[in-house]
Structure 1
Amino acid sequence: MAALVQQLASLAQTCFDEKQDTVSEEPFKNVLSAMNTIQAKHLNFDPSTVKVNDSAGGAPVTFIHVYKNDIFSMRIFVIKPSGRIPLHDHPGMFGLCKVIHGSVHLRSFSEVEEQGIQDTCFQSRENHSVLKSVRLHQDMIVTSSDDCCFLTPREGNFHEILPVQGMAAFLDVLAPPYNPGRDCHYYDELGNDVSASDAADESVRWLRQVPTASDYWCDRLVYKGPSIEC
């Protein structure tokens, strides 16, 4: 029988299409079900191999490349106790996140129809172009015993991930994958101080695009799990 991670990859290959921003319900459910079965042992991931160094110069996140083709990518991210995955987006992408070690605090947002902006400090075309109006989608603690979380091109597409009480690791599946023409953007949360009008929806929050955070970078480990072919 094929390794569970190979089964997951085969289902992802069938489910996702690089030219579409929608998926069929049944194939997507199959991917979610397979993702929920994945544990650290199925990837031969050993947390003790990750160097945790909170002193100056130590990478706050470790990245492990698992698999990538034109349809999807699979990666493992290990967040050190003082690290984080900053608030960012996944333009036009589906994403699945399965915690395989420890626990994480996940906050995600969905973009809403653009609102008008009153505040004069945001009036310029340049600043206006990097603002996103969003609503909170999820704010939760996720452990290795929980089902995977997922985002779509329209729901929960902006998110940030922080470890809870020590190092955490998760398997990440993105479809389509990042490439030179498709990259993520990073954001600061402005809250709901930037309002459109007195009648504006108070649940709307604002995100401002910013450069990559100076406290976020990755070192790498080699993937030692089962080989994958699609």
Structure 2
Amino acid sequence: MGMEKVSGERKKRRVRQKKKKLSVVQKLYDICREVFADCGPGVVPSVEGIERLKHILNGITAPDVGVSPNMPYFKVKETSTFPKITYLHLSHCDKFSIGIFLLPPSGVLPLHNHPQMTVFSKLLFGTMHIKAYDWVDDGATVSTPEADLSKGEVTPVSVRLAKLKVNSAFTAPCNTSILYPTDGGNMHCFTAITSCAVLDVLGPPYCDPEGRHCQYYRTHPFTCFSVDDKKLPDGEKIEDHAWLEEIDKPASLSVVAAMYNGPKIVEK
């Protein structure tokens, strides 16, 4: 009996030691597998699952994932266009993806959406301005006239009304931000004030064949168009609303992939 007890204790110690050796990113991956297991397009994880992901992401630091402001990706030359943004791929499956965006000073991820997705974003270092919107209506677009002053013409523009949810600068360390399929600022724009690194978890990830492609937008002030059935409720501020027009991927946007050299993830 004594030997059996000693053997059991040794096994427990080995299990504890094995757990201690797990990197933070491996723990993040393992939690994502559990939290997103029963989720799909438009399905938000449980409250408990969201809290688990929030908790581990809030504790992740830049050294945990092997990134720092001294990396060459942040050294940019003077240019008339926006500096290129680097993306480090950590993991990807049909349920979720994990990656890191590296934005040099003045780097911009233009206003874009996250269709049927729940997204967790953790600013690892730097100061970043985030502007985010949610749709106001049920998805209907309206065609409104817009004057082209260069040609002296008026052309129809398809726009949809959105409400401003976030318009602030954030400096690391700060808590993880979460956006949902229809709430929390599903369409957002990132502007790097300093060198920034953002750890992103998307569930599910973008998938063109399934209709979850990244759509970009141009904003128009609410007062630009007059639409009879688009009146704001009492108490709503005009400046907190904008018309969003779908556009092609901006020509100035350059996102390039680079090798992730942080702690490795063992995918299961």
Q: TM-score, normalised by structure 2?
A: 0.76
* Alignment-derived partner of residue 81 in structure 1: 105
Partner of 2:231: 200
Indicate yes or no: 2:221 matched with 1:191.
Answer: yes
Match for 1:141: what amino acid?
A
Structure 2: gaps spanning 5 or more residues = 1-19, 148-155, 233-237
Q: Select the structure that is richer in helix.
A: 2
Distance 2:257 2:142 in 1: 42
Alignment partner of 1:172 is 2:200 = yes
Structure 1 position 20, deviation (Å): 4.9
Compare 107-116 and 167-176 and name the one that shifted more.
Answer: 107-116
- Please state whether the residue corresponding to 1:26 is helix, strand or coil: helix
Higher relative contact order (CA 8 A, sep 6+): 1
3-state SS, counterpart of residue 249 of structure 2: coil
Counterpart check, 1:53 vs 2:76: yes
Which AA in structure 1 matches 2:263? P
Instruction: Report the Cα offset of residue 227 of structure 1.
Output: 1.7
Write the deviation string for residues 136-164 of structure 1: whole angstroms up to 9, x where unpaired: 11112122210011111001110000011
Q: Does structure 2 retain, via aligned residues, the 8 Å contact 1:187–1:208?
A: yes
Deviation, 1:3, is 1.3
CA distance in 2, matches of 1:208, 1:20: 23
Change (3 A) 1:65 1:74: same
Given that 1:50 and 1:62 are in contact with CA atoms closer than 8 Å, whether structure 2 keeps it comes out as no
Are the equivalent residues in 1 in contact too, given 2:41–2:117 (CA < 8 A)?
no
Matched, 1:157 2:186: yes
**Given that residues 108 and 159 in structure 1 are in contact (C-alpha distance below 8 angstroms), is that contact kept between their aligned partners in structure 2?**
yes
Q: Which amino acid aligns with 1:192?
A: F
Report how many residues are paired.
224
Check whether the contact 1:54–1:60 (CA below 8 A) recurs between aligned residues. no
Cα distance in 2, alignment partners of residues 209 and 119 from structure 1: 14
Amino acid of the residue matched to residue 157 of structure 1? N
Task: Name the SS for the 1:141 alignment partner.
Answer: strand
Q: Judge conservation of contact 1:118–1:195 (CA < 8 Å) in 2.
A: no
Q: Quick one: distance in 2 between partners of 1:59 and 1:105?
A: 16
Q: Give the superposition deviation at 1:199.
A: 7.0
Partner of 1:67: 91
Contact persistence 2:112–2:214 (CA under 8 A)? yes
Match of 2:246 in 1: 209
CA distance in structure 1 between the aligned counterparts of 2:163 and 2:52, rounded to whole angstroms: 28
In the other structure, the counterpart of 2:52 is 30
CA distance in 2, matches of 1:86, 1:103: 17
Q: Identify unmatched segments of 5+ residues in structure 1.
A: none
Structure 2: distance between partners of 1:116 and 1:13: 36
Q: Which residue of 2 aligns with 1:105?
A: 129
Match of 1:219 in 2: 256
8 Å CA contact 2:118–2:204 kept in 1: the answer is yes
My pick for the range that moved more, 178-187 or 102-111, is 178-187
Deviates more, 1:33-42 or 1:4-13: 4-13
SS in 2 for 1:41: helix
Residue 150 of structure 2 corresponds to none
Query: Does the 8 Å contact 2:130/2:166 carry over to 1?
Result: yes
Q: Report if aligned partners of 1:132, 1:207 keep a CA contact under 8 Å in 2.
A: yes
Output the aligned Cα RMSD: 2.3
Q: Percent identity?
A: 26
The residue that corresponds to 2:170 in the other structure is 142
Cα distance in 2 for residues equivalent to 1:13 and 1:116:
36
Give the whole-Å Cα distance in 2 for the aligned partners of 1:195 and 1:116: 14
